Copies of this chain bind each other. A is one copy, B any other.
Amino acid sequence: MQEHPTAVLLLSCPDRPGLVAAVAEFVFRHGGNILHAEQHTDTDEQIFFQRVEFALDGFTLARDEIPEAFAELVNRFGMRFQLRFSDDVARIAILMSRAPHCTYDLLARWRVGELRADIPIVISNHPDHADVAAHFGVAYHHLPVAPETKTEQERTMLALLAEHDVDLVVLARYMQILGPDFVASYPDAIVNIHHSFLPAFAGSRPYHQAHQRGVKIVGVTAHYVTAELDQGPIIDQDVVRVSHRDGVEDLVRKGRDLEKVVLARAVLAHLESRVLVYGNKTVVFG
């Protein structure tokens, strides 16, 4: 249990004077101290975004009373909002295929306490890495996918995720394309790592495509999964320099290091309620 838990309000609404004052006054009136507040206004679309984190020590409302008390502002400003608490423990499912590097990386981060989450389950379309999950004390489900079994297997997956009460699905180099039903079940809650600097080299074998084009830098992209392949809102990206000396296998190797780090950064941002999706973009607070 955290010693000094905090509450995080993530909100968006049409921009209007008085918003910042109203939210800050709400927190202050109920005895909260704002520890972090960040806001952004999309001036083209006239949308206001804010993340406000305040101490629960001394806050006079019980956690479950906050939404009702906040409702007045929600209505006045036409807000969409999420409320989370720093001691919430999200439940993550990892989906993986043959390459285990992202899975190892996430599980090792979890073990050292870097991720405030539980990881009850790893699902893979390959049987290879059951021992990895076992080492970290996580259930491993092998669900092989073939064209004719895909719909069925995704239904099984959804049942497993429900059973394990999963909030966030992390595609740790899961090489199957998820169907629309699956994607619709976890809106803004499936994070994928694509091994290219999107929108360059969407689709399959991006390192081959990059090598073919002779680029001097390769990148990776963490994004939320939407119905359209590799087109979801981007959470984070990073790149590494390559040269003519690097063959495809070198790009793959260099890319792996990026994939691990960028996927982990995206998962962390999600877990800390720092990401707001709007349209096909994200606001990622610092």
> Are the C-beta atoms of A41 and B32 separated by less than 8 Å?
no
The answer, yes or no, to whether A199 is at the interface (CB within 8 Å) is yes
**Contact (Cβ within 8 A) A20 B24:** yes
A199 neighbours in B (Cβ, 8 Å) = 200-201, 213, 215
How far apart are the CA atoms of A248 and B33 in the complex, in Å?
A: 22
A21: contacting residue among B27, B35, B111, B261, CB under 8 A: B27
How far apart are A281's CB and chain B's nearest CB, in angstroms? 3
Q: Which residues of B contact A27 (CB under 8 A)?
A: 20-21
A18: contacting residue among B28, B44, B234, CB under 8 A: B28
Find out whether the CB atom of A286 lies under 8 angstroms from the CB atom of B284: no
Copies of this chain, whole number: 4
Q: Residue A244 contacts which of B16, B24, B40, B131 (CB distance < 8 angstroms)?
A: B40
Inter-chain CA distance A217–B219, complex, in Å, is: 10
Tell me, yes or no, whether A89 is within 8 Å of chain B by CB: no
Q: What 0/1 pattern do residues 72 to 109 of A give for CB contact below 8 A with B?
A: 00000000000000000000000000011100110011
Name A1-48 residues within 8 Å CB distance of B: 15-21, 24-25, 27-28, 31-44
Q: How large is the interface on A (under 10, 10 to 19, 20 to 34, 35 or more residues)?
A: 35 or more
Asked if B105 and A244 make an inter-chain contact with CB atoms under 8 angstroms apart, the answer reads: no
Residues of B contacting A132 in the complex (Cβ-Cβ under 8 angstroms):
135
Task: Please tell me if A280 contacts chain B, counting CB pairs below 8 Å.
Answer: yes
The answer, yes or no, to whether A214 is at the interface (CB within 8 Å) is yes
| A236 at the B interface (CB under 8 A) | yes
Taken together as a complex, chains A and B put the C-alpha atoms of A136 and B195 apart, in Å, by 27
A38, A214, A247: most-surrounded residue (chain B CB, <10 A): A214
B214 touches A238 (CB 8 A): no
A62 is an interface residue with CB less than 8 A from chain B? no
On chain B, the residues within 8 Å of A284 by CB distance are 216, 243-244
**With A99-B112, A135-B131, A217-B238 given, is the CB distance from A32 to B20 under 8 Å?**
no
Report A's interface with B, CB cutoff 8 A.
Answer: 15-21, 24-25, 27-28, 31-44, 58, 99-101, 104-105, 108-109, 111-112, 114, 131-132, 135, 197-201, 213-217, 219, 233-239, 241, 243-245, 247, 253, 256-257, 261, 264, 280-284, 286
Rank and list the top 8 A-B pairs by shortest CB-CB distance, nearest first.
Answer: A214-B281, A21-B24, A200-B200, A17-B33, A21-B28, A104-B108, A135-B135, A20-B24
